[in-house]
Amino acid sequence: MPSLSEVYRAHPVHVQHKHPDLNSLQELPESYTWTTTQPQDQTNNNNLNHTVPVIDLNHPNASNLIGHACRTWGVYQVLNHGVPITLLHDIQRLGETLFSLPSHHKHRAARSPDGVDGYGLARISSFFPKLMWSEGFTIVGSPLHRFRQLWPQDCHKYCDIVMQYDETMKKLAEKLMWLMLESLGITEEEDLKWAGAKGQFKKTCAALQLNSYPTCPDPDRAMGLAAHTDSTLLTILYQNNISGLQVHRKGTGWVTVAPVPGGLVINVGDLLHILSNGLYPSVLHRVLVNRVKQRLSVAYLCGPPPNVEICPHENLVGPNQPRLYKSVTWNEYLGMKAKHFNKALSTVRVCGGMNEEMD
Ligand SMILES: O=C(O)CCC(=O)C(=O)O
Ligand SMILES: [Fe+2]
């Protein structure tokens, strides 16, 4: 079975590799200027009831609350998730240290043209004519080689933090997957064979994406990360205490995901959308930037083993619930995403046109 790195490598996207040091720019260059004059691009500040659900994982009814959030938002925040706050602070400090290195130093660990790991612009940049006001660092597997390029002395110390973060997130992802499946009525290990013995999701694959959004001289015309859905089963996102993440909700528009201290944001990804036969829609999200504070986020992008067929679960398909999606492996889906980007989900729909998913 191919590794996740090999899978990404098989579906390259062409991202510009040289970019200016954003911290050194006093004005927003034309190449970074986005025009967000469309009414549907504006943030909905009108209704305070429109807030992303925050769920205590110790709540006896957590699974149902999660199910409701997935159906109505495709995103929720969790508290009492069991990830030590010290570990969240450690990964945040690692990100801060990494992104505050001088530009030429960060470029020592630059992503190669057909590679996935290392320092560079967001992979989705290739789909937009304008550049995004952010920089990223992607980790797939061990970051040792990359960290040696950045920190010859301290690479093991930073590696340990990433490994611990990865292990802890894997456990949380497993727990969340079962809570979400349970809320769909999928409760037996037998019901999802690829999850493995005892349904432990031991073979899930993941990438870690560190994102930095430096302060911006003209935030209203810039874009930190353009609107996209994640090509995952689920994404676990840690954001430092700075707002910027927004999710799109039908009928409401763009809603800011206010940071909750110690909380984690959980996005439904495209593969869970498919697995749930569209009951849990993957959430469209974007990141805006600000003038005064650098924002940092760490996304744990979790998917199935790359060659496992993901299809709408049989419990969710019947005479009154037609099957809406074809089977697809994560590997194949990443290929579709690299080609069709936000239309990828429509291309695996059984019936219906390309425009059904995005409106
Ligand atoms: O920075 C964020 O809050 C979101 C990051 C994100 O959407 C991603 O890395 O896919
Ligand atoms: Fe994302």
Task: Write out pLDDT tens, residues 121-163.
Answer: 988 998 999 999 999 999 999 999 999 999 999 999 999 999 9
Task: Say what the pLDDT of residue 353 is.
Answer: 42
Q: Is 299 in the pocket of ligand 1 (CB under 6 A)?
A: yes
- Band (201; pLDDT cuts 50, 70, 90): confident
**Residue identifier of the C-alpha nearest atom 1 of ligand 1:** 297
The CA-atom distances, in angstroms, between 333 and each of 112, 140, 189, 230 are 22, 18, 24, 11
Task: Say what the pLDDT of residue 51 is.
Answer: 92
- Band (204; pLDDT cuts 50, 70, 90): confident
Measured at the alpha carbon of residue 123, what is the angle toward residues 117 and 124, in degrees to the nearest 5? 165
Q: Is residue 349 classed exposed, middle or buried when 0-12, 13-18 and 19+ CB atoms within 10 A define those classes?
A: middle
CATH class given for the domain over 74-348:
mainly beta
Task: Render pLDDT for 309-333 as a digit per residue (tens, 0 to 9).
Answer: 999 999 999 998 999 999 999 999 9
Q: How far is the CA of 37 from the centre of ligand 2 (A)?
A: 23
Q: Is the ipTM of this complex over 0.95?
A: yes
Is residue 221 among the annotated active site residues?
A: no
- Band (40; pLDDT cuts 50, 70, 90): low
Q: How far is the CA of 336 from the centre of ligand 2 (A)?
A: 17
Average pLDDT over every residue of 172-184: 94
As a whole number of angstroms, the distance between CA 7 and CA 191 comes to 27
Whether 355 has a pLDDT exceeding 50, the answer reads no
Average pLDDT over every residue of 193-216: 84
Task: Say what the pLDDT of residue 47 is.
Answer: 60
Amino acid letter for position 1? M
Q: What percent of the chain has pLDDT over 90?
A: 76
- Band (198; pLDDT cuts 50, 70, 90): low
Neighbours of ion ligand 2 (CB under 5 A): 230
Task: Say what the pLDDT of residue 43 is.
Answer: 74
**Pair 254, 224: CB distance under 8 Å:** no
Task: Say what the pLDDT of residue 197 is.
Answer: 63
Q: Is 240 in the pocket of ligand 1 (CB under 6 A)?
A: no
Residue with tokens 């809320």: 183
Average pLDDT over every residue of 210-221: 96
- From the CA of 95, the nearest ligand is 1
Whether 12 has a pLDDT exceeding 60, the answer reads yes
By mean pLDDT, which of 104-113, 168-177, 190-199, 285-294 is the weakest?
A: 190-199
Number of continuous H segments (helices) and E segments (strands) in the chain: 9, 14
As a whole number of angstroms, the distance between CA 311 and CA 277 comes to 8
- Band (38; pLDDT cuts 50, 70, 90): low
Task: Render pLDDT for 41-95 as a digit per residue (tens, 0 to 9).
Answer: 777 765 666 899 999 999 999 999 999 999 999 999 999 999 999 999 999 999 9
188 vs 59 pLDDT, higher one: 59
Assign 3-class secondary structure to 220-245.
HHCCCEEEECCCCCEEEEEECCCCCE
Q: Is 138 in the pocket of ligand 1 (CB under 6 A)?
A: no
- Band (358; pLDDT cuts 50, 70, 90): very low
Q: 111, 146, 286, 295: which one is catalytic?
A: 295
Task: Say what the pLDDT of residue 263 is.
Answer: 98
Whether 173 has a pLDDT exceeding 90, the answer reads yes
Task: Render pLDDT for 229-270 as a digit per residue (tens, 0 to 9).
Answer: 999 999 999 999 999 999 999 888 999 999 999 999 999 999
- Average pLDDT over the chain reads 90
Q: How far is the CA of 93 from the centre of ligand 2 (A)?
A: 21
Site to probe by mutation for ligand 1, drawn from 285, 301, 302 as the one with most ligand atoms within 8 Å of Cβ, is 285
- The residues spanned by each domain of the chain are 74-348
- Band (19; pLDDT cuts 50, 70, 90): confident
By mean pLDDT, which of 2-11, 78-87, 271-280 is the weakest?
A: 2-11
Q: Is residue 277 classed exposed, middle or buried when 0-12, 13-18 and 19+ CB atoms within 10 A define those classes?
A: buried
Q: What percent of the chain has pLDDT over 70?
A: 91
Average pLDDT over every residue of 99-114: 92
Q: How far is the CA of 150 from the centre of ligand 1 (A)?
A: 23
Average pLDDT over every residue of 347-356: 68
Task: Say what the pLDDT of residue 275 is.
Answer: 96
Q: Is 231 in the pocket of ligand 1 (CB under 6 A)?
A: no
Q: How far is the CA of 42 from the centre of ligand 2 (A)?
A: 19
